[in-house]
Amino acid sequence: MPRTDSAHISPSAHYTGYVWYRHQLSNPAFVTDFGRFAHVVLSPITWAARRFDIDLERLLLQRHLLIDALLTEAIEQRGVTQVVEIACGLSPRGQRFRQRYPQLHYVEADLPPMAARKRRLLASQGWLGEQHQVQAVDILAADGECSLAALFARLDPAQPVLVITEGLVNYFELGVIEGFWARLAEQLKGFVQGSYLTDLYPDLQEHPSYRQLRWGVGLVGLLTRGKYPLHYRDQAAIEAGFARCGFRQVAVLDPHEESLRRQLPRGRLPGLVRVIDARV
């Protein structure tokens, strides 16, 4: 049966929050004891994975920094003034981009417990305000106060908006996440300009480390108390999937290939992750 709740995602937010801090992308306020603990516990596994040229932290950095680069371009070249980061967890992106672009209206959104924690964290540092907010959302809610409609009702439809989800979509079966994308595309169509950035792990059976990847996927599912299905076989399937959900323009980017042009961390093997830049 497809997973029909989102509560299993939060544990990984603590781990990634510590990874961002380790690589000087975050403030110490975003670090939790559980994040430090998870990093220590997983260190033997991540060391072993590197022997098969699967560097988990480098992979996380590649996707995070490529999303940052695309967001920067959207702000500076397309005039994006509103950003919604769904499943924000302990991501430092909102705080960093609000410092860099004070005019930006940044909304962080997550399930109610994580949203409450993030709200308290930002408030304690003096970062919360009219231009930097935290809202509760459940991507699977069809209506109600935690629905996408309620989240986007707070924004200005006359201003461009960009939505980010990072480390979210592969926690759900494809049919479930395509339902979210279809609802998201419908909301974005109500704005003068709407775009979406996300990471995605396709089912790259031809990848040199595919067997190790499948083992790692099983581990992620175990740690987060849920499955971690891989979506789509290739770029054409990704483009077709997003088109079915209502996106008119879809770019599929491999951080491994983008690394030289954008001066991002580069791995030895072709990338396992894709970053999607989709627009309505």
- Domains of the chain from N-terminus onward: 62-208+230-279 (3.40.50.150)
Residue 135: name the closest of 87, 178, 103, 189 by CA: 87
The tokens of 78 are what? Answer: 């397309």
- Please state, in angstroms and rounded to a whole number, the distance separating the CA atoms of residues 257 and 262: 9
Q: Which residues pair with 254 in a beta bridge?
A: none
Residue 223: name the closest of 9, 1, 4, 5 by CA: 9
Q: What are phi and psi of 153, to 5 degrees?
A: -65, -20
- Please state, in angstroms and rounded to a whole number, the distance separating the CA atoms of residues 12 and 32: 12
Q: Which residues pair with 197 in a beta bridge?
A: 164, 277
8 A C-beta contact, residue 136 and residue 55: no
Return the pLDDT at 28: 87
The tokens of 150 are what? Answer: 């309620």
8 A C-beta contact, residue 110 and residue 85: no
The length of the chain in residues reads 280
Look up tokens 């979406």; give the residue.
196
Residue 17: name the closest of 4, 7, 9, 26 by CA: 26
Q: Which residues contact 80 (CB under 8 A, 6 or more apart)?
A: 71, 74, 160, 161, 162, 193, 195
Return the pLDDT at 8: 47
Helix, strand or coil, per DSSP, at residue 88 = coil
Q: In the 8-state DSSP scheme, what is residue 129?
A: B
Q: What is the pLDDT along the chain (280 residues), one digit of tens a residue?
A: 344 444 544 667 787 888 878 888 888 888 888 877 777 777 776 666 666 666 677 778 888 999 999 999 999 999 999 999 999 999 999 999 999 999 999 999 999 999 999 999 999 999 999 999 999 999 999 999 999 999 999 999 999 999 999 989 988 999 999 999 999 999 999 999 999 999 998 886 665 565 656 555 555 555 545 566 778 989 999 999 999 999 999 999 988 888 777 777 665 555 678 999 999 9
- Please state, in angstroms and rounded to a whole number, the distance separating the CA atoms of residues 81 and 157: 11
- Please state, in angstroms and rounded to a whole number, the distance separating the CA atoms of residues 227 and 250: 26
Handedness of CA 271, 176, 161, 165 (dihedral sign): negative
- Please state, in angstroms and rounded to a whole number, the distance separating the CA atoms of residues 93 and 106: 10
